[in-house]
Amino acid sequence: MAVDINKLIKQSEDSSMNRTLGSLNITLLGIGAIIGAGIFVLTGQAAAAYAGPGIVISFLISGFACAFAALCYAEFASMIPVSGSAYTYAYATLGKTVAWIIGWDLILEYLFSASTVAVGWSGYMISFIKDFGIVIPDYLTSAPLIQSANGIIASGAIINLPAMLIIGILTAVLYYGIRESAKINNAVVYVKVGVILLFVFVGYKYINLDNRTPFIPENTGSFGEFGWSGILRGAGVIFFAYIGFDAVSTVAQEAKNPKRDLPIGIIVSLIVSTILYVAVSLVLTGIINYKFLGVPDPIAVGINSLGDSLMWLLPIIKIGAPAGLSSVILVMLLGQPRIFYSMSKDGFLPAIFSKIHKKHKTPHVTTIITGVVAMVIAGVLLIGILGELVSIGTLLAFAIVSAGILVLRYKQPDLPRGFRTPRVPFVPIMGVLTALALMIALPFDTWLRLLIWMGIGMLIYVLYSLPNLKKFENQ
């Protein structure tokens, strides 16, 4: 049974958080979350492993799939401006159980993505400070376990200290206040977009068309390894990069005019980010053969391949990459506590998860919890395979949000909407189908991990959340 939408709307109006974010701040939060690991890491790795130069098509497919979901998110955000994002939208349309599944799914999405990107940040930062003669011992820059061809093995390391450090710093910023967090994000976004544009405008002059031949490498005989199936799998893998506009909707209760600003932030950030992704992938696979891009720093490798002609650009990239990745971590760490906040307000989680700091007006308890857990994951756990897991979790959320628009248009067509998804039912149906298609293209192991995660979540739901909901509703 779905919850009363008017109750959710009233909850958003009674927000005790600071409403300080305008449409520009929200759009930059979206760009800050979307532009990061996708450009600086996943572009090269997905090209090398799955799609070759056809990674450009993979980005277009992912952007195309996101566009359907983004239009559905925009309608929900304009109508139910609550911090719970896809969790709240599912609760409003599809009932408690589906809402819990999505809420648990979003925990996977935000916590693991913040930790995964923090490891990428660590790699670029270690490379950057090494240029100045500062060397951190290897045993302090990696997780103790790694994924290899022989399975999970010991790496000989103790902890990834830089990854934990950046999460700790950004958690402190988020604890202090949303206005300060937005200002830092804005500055970082301007830096990284400037660096990306510089790479594109300088690098296109060095494109060698031979590097793009063949544009779609022949399939190896296995699904997902090049050919059109590789392009589809590449689209599913890099979908990890697009979760940022989901995070935009988690700041609904801190937006000045959420019914107007959230749709603008969601749609504009997606358009800008897709253009940048396509431009970078076109240039990168043009200046170096895709076979050499399966590395943690593919853009730096691409620049190195050109010899001395672009060496001046390398330090700029090494500055821009950590900056770009830090804003992704910031927004992911920002989104998770607000999901916890909404789930607690609805009775799914303990009341302490919805505590708001009296001075800073932030969900400080869940901000600390999120930061500590993300630090542990980034510092000591095996996360090399988590990018695909985050992608499948995000795709599941997008499919359910798209389905929710269909349900709501049928059940409550007259509810006031600041933004209306165009071409219903075509757009939401395509949102569901494209998300499911990309999920199917992901490896079986990724599905298995998702099912295990969901199984753990359902145990918590049955043993704690359902009994607590009954008490909550009877109060």
The answer as to whether 254 is a domain residue is: yes
The domain of 209 spans 11-474
Residue of higher predicted confidence among 12 and 218: 218
Q: Which of 366, 416, 408, 368 is nearest to 171 (CA)?
A: 368
Checking if the pLDDT of 169 tops 70, the result is yes
Residue 301 has phi, psi (to 5 degrees) of -65, -40
Its pTM surpasses 0.75 = yes
Mean pLDDT of 180-195: 85
Q: How many CA within 13 A on the CB side of residue 5? A: 21
The answer as to whether 251 is a domain residue is: yes
Domain of residue 76, CATH code: 1.20.1740.10
CA–CA gap between residue 123 and residue 129 (Å, rounded): 10
The answer as to whether 2 is a domain residue is: no
Other Cβ atoms closer than 10 A to 323: 21
The answer as to whether 5 is a domain residue is: no
Checking if the pLDDT of 19 tops 60, the result is yes
Chain segment 255-275, per-residue pLDDT in tens: 888 788 888 888 898 899 889
For the chain, the maximum distance between any two Cα atoms, rounded to a whole number of angstroms, is: 71
Tell me if the bond preceding 214 is cis, omega within 30° of 0: yes
What pLDDT shows up at residue 151?
62
The answer as to whether 94 is a domain residue is: yes
CA–CA gap between residue 300 and residue 262 (Å, rounded): 35
Residue of higher predicted confidence among 18 and 232: 232
What pLDDT shows up at residue 148?
59
What pLDDT shows up at residue 429?
95
What pLDDT shows up at residue 411?
83
The answer as to whether 3 is a domain residue is: no
What pLDDT shows up at residue 387?
62
Chain segment 101-137, per-residue pLDDT in tens: 888 988 887 888 888 888 878 877 887 888 788 888 8
Checking if the pLDDT of 2 tops 70, the result is no
Chain segment 46-60, per-residue pLDDT in tens: 888 899 999 999 989
CA–CA gap between residue 265 and residue 259 (Å, rounded): 11
Q: What is the SS3 assignment for 136?
A: coil
Which H or E run includes 124? Answer: helix 96-130
Mean pLDDT of 410-439: 87
The answer as to whether 126 is a domain residue is: yes
What pLDDT shows up at residue 432?
93
Instruction: Please count the structural domains in the chain.
Output: 1
The answer as to whether 215 is a domain residue is: yes
